[in-house]
Amino acid sequence: MDPSVEKSINLAYRQVDTGRLSRRGKGITLTFIAIGLLTFVAPLVKLDPPVHGQQYRSVLDIAQQLQATLHPETPLALLLFVPFGLVYLTLLVALAAVLVIPFRKALLWISFVGLFFLYPFRGLYGIVKMAALFQSSSHSSGLTTVWVVLGIAMLAIAGVAWTDTTT
């Protein structure tokens, strides 16, 4: 068979990459977004020594405690100032992007922004982390677990957005 004919047959069967996530890519991405969002309510932060009889707390518990110590009437928008608050907001934006406009390039940029916010002592997280170091006398490193899980979730989302094809 003539090589030019064989080449045209192969091109005829190739699908055009539209830049959209495949069904499998959406499923994987939604799974990692869910894992990242679950770290907000899952008690992953280890406190040493235990506070009020609890050794493990969630980021939500820490945010509520921070809200109570600062000012009881503080709005829930304060949650952006909790550790990793902007990363959780980025995960919500990624969730909306997957459900509404599932384009790989948009999801890739959203995950890069989330990874940027995960960089230690960057943005609002850095301010809160430094304030927490001065406020607490105990040296709890429980936020490391949350940081690692969020980092893995963001890297997995970026990986899916980078490698997923509709073929």
Q: Is residue 106 part of a domain?
A: yes
Q: What is the pLDDT of residue 3?
A: 54
Q: Is residue 19 part of a domain?
A: no
Q: Is residue 2 part of a domain?
A: no
- Name residues of the chain where pLDDT drops below 70: 1-18, 48-52, 67, 70-83, 120-142, 166-167
Q: Is residue 44 part of a domain?
A: yes
Report the sign of the C-alpha dihedral through residues 95, 29, 36, 148, in that order.
Answer: negative
* % of the chain at pLDDT higher than 90: 22
Q: What is the pLDDT of residue 100?
A: 93
Q: What is the pLDDT of residue 151?
A: 85
Q: What is the pLDDT of residue 33?
A: 95
The domain tally of the chain equals 1
Q: Is residue 21 part of a domain?
A: no
Q: Is residue 79 part of a domain?
A: yes
| Domain coverage including residue 38 | 29-163
Q: Is residue 6 part of a domain?
A: no
Q: Is residue 98 part of a domain?
A: yes
Give the Cβ contact number of residue 166 at 10 Å. Answer: 15
Q: What is the pLDDT of residue 135?
A: 53
